[in-house]
A and B are shown apart, each in its own frame.
Chain A
Amino acid sequence: MGQKTALYQQHLDMGGKIVDFSGWDMPLHYGSQKEEHLQVRASAGMFDVSHMTVVDVKGGDAKDYLRHLLANDVGRLNTSGKALYTGMLNEDGGVVDDLIVYAMGTPGSAGEWFRLVVNCGTRKKDLDWMDKHAARFEVAMTERPEMALVAVQGPQAIDKVGAVLADNQKSALAGLTVFHGAPAGEWFLARTGYTGEDGLEIMLPEADVSKFWQDLSAVGVKPCGLGARDTLRLEAGMNLYGSDMDERVSPLAANMGWSVAWEPEDRDFIGRKALEQQRLKGCPEKLVGLVLKERGVLRAHQKVIIEGVGEGEITSGSFAPSLGHSVALARVPAATATSAEVEMRGKRIKVSVVKPCFVRQGKQVFA
């Protein structure tokens, strides 16, 4: 038996098919992964992501510490609640984990602090890494396992959440811009997500989460499992740690170059030296999107052949329910091309090569 979130009984009651996910008993789907996926694109779905690890970083050196620890620059977080996507790199420039940081308190003031949400599968490794590099800083890190985390995603997500919030929480939601969060009592509402749709990720005390889940269900928000979460993020071209990148992969080879803050030049973040050398020489690989319009499903680890250029590998692949055909993320030689072949079940199948993003806000985004 694995660990259970505060919503475990709700998942059983709603017909969730429970699977092991990094030691947690989590719902894969509640009947149909495909329908849950389409529900999020069309209206709103809710995901229990309480298995993810929330860490609060406080103390006089919190900002300096995170500016050293993370490849993106928390110094850019100049308003309260602003969020930042970043890699946490090792000295070789490999990705230890990817995470979201929220600026908390009042940026620039003595009371400023940061909230990090890291992956569940890498929890122990991340915490050890963060501790190891905290030695020379005055920081206090507190894990928040007592917080539940619910993602409500889809074009109607914000309206639906608004309909079930208490009056004093609604003011936190009003005026919440994309990629910002705001506290509401013990809750924290953030306009972030992992689906390519508008929506919220909401941290709240475990004691409140069952009622919140049921209230959302009552206004028509459908529960969605980890299966739909994966196909939604793939369509949105968002990386999955452990599949699309890991400690052996540079952010420059994982479509994360945009999240590396090179300026200011004197900011000494872990992995900087290695990345600068890669940048100078040119990163030999890149992450691209593959599209297969015909029958068949692209899957992780299938070989990608680009004639005259070289070979690569699919890092994530699936049927894309919003598109009705398969798409994949693949790491290939940086020269790439507009088409490639994928080895599928002993046959070579032609695919087109596009930017690694397929669907945003319910719309196809590749040509």
Chain B
Amino acid sequence: MSNIPAELKYVSSHEWIRVEGEGVVTIGITDHAQDQLGDVVFVELPEVGSSFALSDDMGVVESVKAASDLYAPLSGEVIEVNEELEDSPEQVNSDPYGDGWFVKLKLEDESELDGLLDAAAYGELCESEE
């Protein structure tokens, strides 16, 4: 059973979202996602200052096994990326909700937050995919 923190929000493409306040969110991939991918070896992150619409490709996660797109779970502008992942991509596996975070977005439209899944709904989704 994978770890699904109750205080986070989720999307069906297996990204998690932490609402930081003032229209800013932190984004990463879930424990379930990193477990499915296996050892992450490269992470390609967007440039700070670039903007994405909901569901746009914003990066790539490459594991030994497969390449997986990172989708923008919300629309907004990238204000920070986790540069540590360049040298330590394994943090995505070891600490997906902490040191393995990917980007911080400044949201364009905070009402999009209403469309996210809560932990219970995301847990059901994962179970249905098992």
Contact = CB atoms under 8 A, between A and B. Distances in A.
Nearest to B62: A297
Contacts of B42: 295-297, 319
A33 B38 contact: yes
Nearest to B35: A17
A169 interface: no
A297 B39 contact: no
Interface string A17-36: 00000000000110011100
Contacts of A33: 38-39, 64-65
Contacts, number: 38
Most chain B CB neighbours (cut-off 10 Å) among A29, A32, A297, A345: A297
Contacts of A319: 41-42, 62-64
A318 B41 CA distance: 10
A90 interface: no
A318 B90 CA distance: 16
B119 interface: no
A296 B62 contact: yes
Given A32-B93, A33-B38, A345 B60 contact: yes
Nearest to A297: B62
B44 interface: yes
A231 B64 contact: yes
A321 interface: yes
A47 B67 CA distance: 26
Contacts of B41: 34, 297, 319
Contacts of A297: 41-42, 62, 64, 67
Nearest to A37: B64
Nearest to B69: A345
Contact of B44 (A29, A34, A295): A295
Interface string A298-341: 01000000000000000000110100000000000000000000
Contacts of A34: 39, 41, 64, 90
A17 B51 CA distance: 38
A10 B67 CA distance: 30
A300 B63 CA distance: 14
Contacts of B63: 319
Given A295-B44, A297-B62, A32 B67 contact: no
A227 B63 CA distance: 12
B68 to A, nearest CB: 11
Given A231-B64, A297-B42, A319-B63, 5 more contacts: A32-B39, A32-B93, A33-B64, A297-B62, A299-B66
